[in-house]
Structure 1
Amino acid sequence: MKVSRIHTAIGSDIGNKRRNNQDNGLAALGVYVVCDGMGGGVGGERASGLAVKHLAALASKPARDRADIEATLQAAQDDTLELGDELGGVAGTTATGLVSPRIPSDDAEADGRLDPALWYVINVGDSRTYHLDRRPDGISVADSICQVTTDHSQRQEAIDSGLMLPEVANATIPRNIITQCVGSPDGIDPDFFAVDPVGRFVVCSDGLHSLVEEHEIGEICEANPDPQDTVTALITAALDAGGDDNVTVIVVDIDADEAQAGQSAETANPAMGSPKEPWHASKLDRGEDLGTISDITLDGLRT
């Protein structure tokens, strides 16, 4: 794949019960990341704002590899630690989303074209990045929804370790006890995933996924082909479900060029209207980058 078209939308809402919006997001130049701040009062808003400031500097780079992203997150970590010291506590923020290894060319701002190759999905904390397949006609496939990231939370650790079944962990461990955030005195260990960028990505704070079930997110995506309509509908669903937190959503649609779209159509499942080959994401090991993916990592691709 050498040419794609990208269409994006971003939206945020303070919610029904909060006094200020501690979420921030960036959707520009191949960097699509949501940051959900914490720290009380303006501390969370400032923390997420610091992360977005550094991510915006990353977005201005013509090319960025894993080392660049790690350095960006570490700079945000250092600044947020200083913010915590200033406020006399701990300020922090999540950070998750989709990052292209190259900035789009100048004309991409006009027509959305770029060479996607493999992209990164990054994650620190419990905001989430999802993926859905899209049919050749541009409709997302609801039941193809896949949570790419894994929450850095006590609840998820209890599930992953086998100590608790998901339903027990969900009922007994508060969702907002996270084990990593940018600004943590214990440092950060971001997750990196290598992903095929074609399809629809939904990047969101927990103000969405804590209130709207995954299958509902998929159904809303299928019902709304336009990214901005999808963002609006997802935020509305979170507010209708209680809106007890800030909610921020980015939708990124990336399409193959017409020739490849035609090839996909030829291999599509007539009943589903989606390609037979499943979409894949692969978690990168420490020190592993898009250009040095090992055979073991490739063999470990998960749907």
Structure 2
Amino acid sequence: MVKQGIEPNIVTYNIFIDAYCKEGMVSKAEDIVDTMIKQGIEPDVVTYNAIINGHCLQNQMGKAKRVFSLMIEKGCAPDILSYNIMINGYCKSKRLDEAMELFHQIAQNGPIPDTVTYNTLMQGMCQFGRVIAACELFKTMLASGPVPNLVTCLILLDGLCTRGKLEVALKLFRAMQNSRLELNVASYNILIDGLCKAGNIEVGKELFHKLSVNGLKPNVYTYAIMINGFCRDGLPDEAYQLFRSMEDNDCLPDSFCYNVMIQGFLRNGYTLKATQLLSEMVGKGFSANLCTATLILDLIL
């Protein structure tokens, strides 16, 4: 390019810097920044964001913070993407308090937080069991922030179900149904899974049957959730009936589904059926996972 007399501009440099950062070669990217500056081209917000993201991807939050501070010192105002990258990096590094501190900085003098900002923080909160804090942030978002999207609701729904707060989860799900959001199978899977794990198999079953009513088809994971739920509730026969109905509903069982059904049989003392289904599974080219293998070994030994 240079040999042909074409001088690279800021856009060209940024493409290379971003590529090196995403490949984990941040030091090489920083060398390009130095070269760029020597050529009289100052880094812009895109340049800084790429370097910050590179450090975050390597879990080097100290370096990311230094670049973020340098950016401000050089008079290059961070945009919302800059803040989102940092917040995501802090959440991934389990430094949620620092992520929240940065969020409050935006509220004071930064750009307006977007949906990604809220989603990232709520995801971090839910992962660390701070579901109540995530609910409070959700309320703030509804009151003064951007409009929540389906991802926002699924993050919160999953957090609530994981922590066993099913009444709140059901309330949120109903609100999602009454909104303009187009619910997908994943929305139902999260709630059905939460209900089944909490022993509310009948409510989960009811929700499962509502899928088709609402124009959705259960996927392999939906079936696996219900099969596991029936087996946990001491209903392996009903689980097996559902398992066998999958093919009729154009949803072939995969390795995961076979393993769930076999484990359900073994845990309920259906040893012969488990053995027969294991042979069938192997015949289809699938293999037992660690959990299934452990249960079989426990049975033999």
Q: TM-score, with normalisation over the residues of structure 2? A: 0.23
Q: TM-score, with normalisation over the residues of structure 1? A: 0.23
Query: Bigger relative contact order, structure 1 or 2, given CA contacts below 8 A and separation 6+?
Result: 1
Task: Pick the structure with more strand per residue.
Answer: 1
Task: Pick the structure with more helix per residue.
Answer: 2
- Structure number with bigger Rg: 2
